[in-house]
Structure 1
Amino acid sequence: MSRFLFVVPPLTGHINPAVGVAAALAGRGHRVAWACPDPALLRRLAGVGAEVFGCAGAPEGSRPPELRGPEALRFLWEWYLLPLAEAMAPGVRVAVGEFRPDVVVADQQAFAGALVAERLGVPWATSATTSAEFTDPLSGLPKVREWLEERLARLRTSIGDPAGGADPRFSPHLVLAFSVAELAGPAEGVRWVGPSVAARPAAAGFPWEWLDAARATVLVTLGTANTDVGGRFLGVCDEALRERADRVQGVVVDPGSPPRAPADDKDVLVVPHVPQLALLERGVAAVVCHAGHNTVGEALWHGIPLVVAPIRDDQPVVAGQVADAGAGVRVRFGRVGARRLGAALDAVLDEPGYRAAAGRIGAAFRAAGGTSAAADHLEELARELS
C-alpha cells in the first residue's frame, strides 16, 4: 500500500474535492495524511480522525470589493497565494519528512506542496479544483503573465528546487481536474475526473420541515469567501424570490447574517450555511450562485440549471462555461436588479433546454468517474514511480 500526503490551503472549496479522493484511497487500504494551515477546518470537512500536519498560513482575508479583472487577480497572488506558499513551506517540509509519502497531492493553489515535493525529490500530483487555469486566462494580459512568471521563479528559488522547471500549478506527473471537457473544453495532459461528490460529515440543524413540496426550491449561495461583497446581490435575490412566492421558495445562504426563525417567513429561508449536497439531492429546482467551481459542479452533477453571477478570480471563466453549455444564464453581479434576475430565474425554471443541458453535463460528470477515477490515477502514479 502507498502513502499519499494531501497539501491544501485553508479554504473549504479547495479541501472538499480532495476529501472524497482521500476517502477513496483510504478505503482501498492506503494511508492518507494532510498538510493544512487550519487543522480544525480540515477535520470538520474530512472527519475528526484525519491525520493532519499543521503549518502556518491563514484563510484569505477580505479584498477591496471594487477590484475586478487583472487587478483582482494580482491582488490575490500578491497578498494571498504567494505569501501562503512561503508560510506553508516549513510545515510541508516537516510533513513530508515525517510522513514519507510516496506521492504528494498538491492543490493547484497550494504552491508549497508542489515546490517542496520537487525540492525533496518526491513525486507530486496536482489537484485542480477549478478548470479556469486550463483556458489560459492570461492570454490577453502579457504584462500580468510576465509578472506572475517572475514571482513564481522567485518562489521556487525560496522554497523549491532552483534547478527545477515545472510550473507548480501543473504537475509533470499527473494533473487531476474536477470537471470534464464537455464543460471546460479540451486541455492537453489533464485527467478529467468530474466533480468530487462524496459523503460529508452530517450538518445538523437544517429545518427540512420548512420546505414546501408544492413549490420549487431555489438555492442561493455565494460560497464561503464572499460575505464581504454579497449584501446587495442577496437583497436582489430576496426581492426576486418573493415576487415568485406563489410557486417558488428560496433558501439563501448568508454566512454574515443570523438565521431567521423559519416560522416567521414561509417564502425565503436565510441561514448561515446549508448541507448543500443533501439539499441538492432532495430536489432543488435551480441554483443562483457566484459561479464557484464546486457549487457549479455539484449543481450540474444533479442536473440542476443555474443562474450565475461571477464576482472575481476563476468565476467569470466558469460562468462562461455554464452559459456556453446552455446549462444556465449569466447575469452581472454588481449591476443586476430584481427584474433581470427574476427573468433569468424564470428562464432556467421554465425553459426545458436549460435543464436538459444541465442533465447532459451531469451525465458526463458521472461517466468521468469522480473520486474513484481520481484514486485510480493516483494509485497508478504511485505504482509507476515506486
Structure 2
Amino acid sequence: MRFLLVVPPLAGHVAPLRGVAAVLSSRGHAVAWCGPEPELSALVSGRVFPAGDSGPFSVALRPPELRGFAALKYLWESYLVPLADAMVPGVASAVSSFAPDVVVADQQAMAGALVAARCGVPWATSASTSTELADPLGSLPKIASWVTELQAGLRARHGVLLGDLRFSPHLVLAFTTRALAGEARPAVPVAYVGPVLPAASGEWSLVDDRPLVVVTLGTSNGAAGTRFLAESVDALAGMPSVRGLVVDPSGELSSESVLLARRIPQVAVFARASVVVCHGGHNTVCEALAAGVPLAVAPIRDDQSMLAQQVTAASAGVRLRFDRAKAADIRAAIEAAEQYRPGAEKIRESFEAAGGAEEAATHLESLANP
C-alpha cells in the first residue's frame, strides 16, 4: 500500500509521523512526504514531493508578543489559510504522481484534506496536539464562526464539499490518550494512539544525588521567555535541596549554582528529572509525562493553555502565569508539583498502553484496506 503524508514544515507536527512512517515502511508499504521545500527535507528522510513555499507564511514571523485572539487571528489569516492555498497545487501533483491509497494530513496542512476529498482518496487526520479535539472555541461562538467562514472560503476556492478540514470523517490519529486529553468532540472518529516519542539519545550525565528540576520553554519565545528563565534561575538558586537545570537557548543567563544549557537531549534528561517546568508545548508535555514526571506549566500561546488545562485536570501538575510569574511563584509551583507524581504516573501508564506508532500504522492499514 502507498501512504502520502502531508505536513507543514514544523518539527513538532512532523515528529510523530516520522515514527509512523518508519513502521509503515518496515511493514513493506511505500511512504512519501509532501510539504514546503526545502524545509521539509531537513525534517524527514525518504521521498518528498514539494508543495508550496512556506517562506512568506512562516509561523516564525508572528510577533512574539501576540496573545489570545490576536495570536489566533495571525495563525489562521497569515499562516494556515495562505499555506493551504499555496500547498494545494503541489499536493494535487503528488497525489497524481504517487497514487496513494491513503493521504495523511496534519491538522495544519489542510491542503491534504482538500486534495484528498477532491480526488476521492481516503484520508486520515494527524492531530499532533490534542487541543482541537476538545473544541476550545466551543464557548466562543463568534470566533468559532469566524474560523468556519475561513474554512468555507478555502473549500469554495478549491471546489470541495466537505466538513471541518481539521477532522477526517474516516480517521483522526490523536497522538495522546484519553487519560490526558479527555473525550473528543462528538462525531469525530478518533483513535487515541498515544505520543510517538524519539528514542533517548545524546550523552548526558549528572553527578548529583539531589532531585533534578528542569526548566525549558522551547526555542523561540523572545524577551518574555528570557525574563521567565531568569526568574527560574533565581527560584532554583534559592532551592539548595534540588539541582536546577535551565535551558537558555540565547546563552544570555549566568549562574554559579544553577546548570545552564542552550540545548538538552530532552528524553534522556527527563528520565532523570523530578519536576519539569515548561511552556506547555505538546511534545515537551508528553516527553515529561512519558517519564512519569509532574509538571509546572506556564502556557504562552496557541494550544499551550489547553495543554496546561489538561495537565491540571489530570492531576499531573500545576499551572503558572507566564507573563507575571516571579521567582517566588516558580519556586512555589516546583514545590507543589511533586505531590502530582501519582497523576503523572497514571498518564505514563496510559501512554505505554496506547500503542504509539505501531497502533497508528495499523489504523492506517485498515483505512487503506477496509
TM-score exceeds 0.5: yes
* Cα drift, residue 199 of structure 1: 3.1
Q: Tell me, which stretches of 5 or more residues in structure 2 are unaligned?
A: none
Q: Which residue of 1 aligns with 2:112?
A: 113
Provide, for residues 145-179 of structure 1, a one-character-per-residue CA deviation record: whole Å limited to 9, x for no partner: 121111101111223x33x1221100011001111
1:199 aligned onto 2:195:
no
Q: Secondary structure at the match of 1:332?
A: coil
Match of 1:184 in 2: 181
Does structure 1 residue 168 correspond to structure 2 residue 165? yes
C-alpha separation in 2, matches of 1:255 and 1:37:
26
Shifted more, 73-82 versus 170-179: the winner is 73-82
Matched, 1:364 2:350: yes
Alignment match, 1:286: 275
CA distance in 2, matches of 1:67, 1:44: 28
Corresponding residue for residue 13 of structure 1:
12
Partner of residue 236, structure 1: 231
1:250-329 to structure 2, matched below 5 A, reads 250-257=244-251, 265=256, 267-271=258-262, 273-281=263-271, 283-329=272-318
Amino acid corresponding to residue 356 of structure 1 in structure 2: P
Select 2:48's aligned residue among 49, 52, 70.
52
- State the distance in 2 between where 1:43 and 1:250 align: 36
CA distance in 2, matches of 1:184, 1:87: 32
In 2, Cα distance between equivalents of 1:38 and 1:250: 39
Which of 139-148 and 63-72 deviates more?
Answer: 63-72
- 1:243 counterpart letter in structure 2: G
SS in 2 for 1:269: strand
Query: How far apart, CA to CA, are the structure 2 residues paired with 1:253 and 1:346?
Result: 19
TM-aligned CA distance change 1:307 to 1:80, over 3 Å: same
Helix, strand or coil for the counterpart of 2:59? coil
Deviation at 1:365, TM superposition (A): 1.3
Aligned pair count? 364
RMSD of the alignment, in Å? 2.1
Identity %: 53
Task: Give 3-state SS (helix, strand or coil) of 2:60's partner.
Answer: coil
Tell me which residue corresponds to 1:98.
97
CA separation of 1:5 and 1:328: change in aligned 2, threshold 3 A? same
CA distance in structure 2 between the aligned counterparts of 1:45 and 1:11, rounded to whole angstroms: 8
Q: 1:112 to 1:31 in 2, by over 3 A?
A: same
* Letter paired with 1:197: L
Deviation sequence 1:198-256 (CA, Å, 0-9, x none): 438x55xx5x24x2331222222222443464111111111112222x33233333333
Aligned equivalents of 2:43, 2:293: Cα separation in 1: 24
Do the aligned partners of 2:237 and 2:257 also contact (CA within 8 Å) in 1?
no
CA contact under 8 A between 1:178 and 1:196: conserved in structure 2?
yes
- Residue 251 of structure 2: SS of its match in structure 1? coil
Contact 1:239/1:338, CA 8 A, preserved across alignment: yes
Q: In structure 1, what residue type is equivalent to 2:190?
A: V
Cα-to-partner distance string for 1:106-131 (whole Å, 9 max, x where unaligned): 00111111111111221110000111
Distance 1:318 1:309 in 2: 10
Q: CA deviation at 1:268?
A: 1.7
- What TM-score, normalized by structure 1, do the two folds share? 0.88
1-side partners of 2:236 and 2:19: how far apart? 33
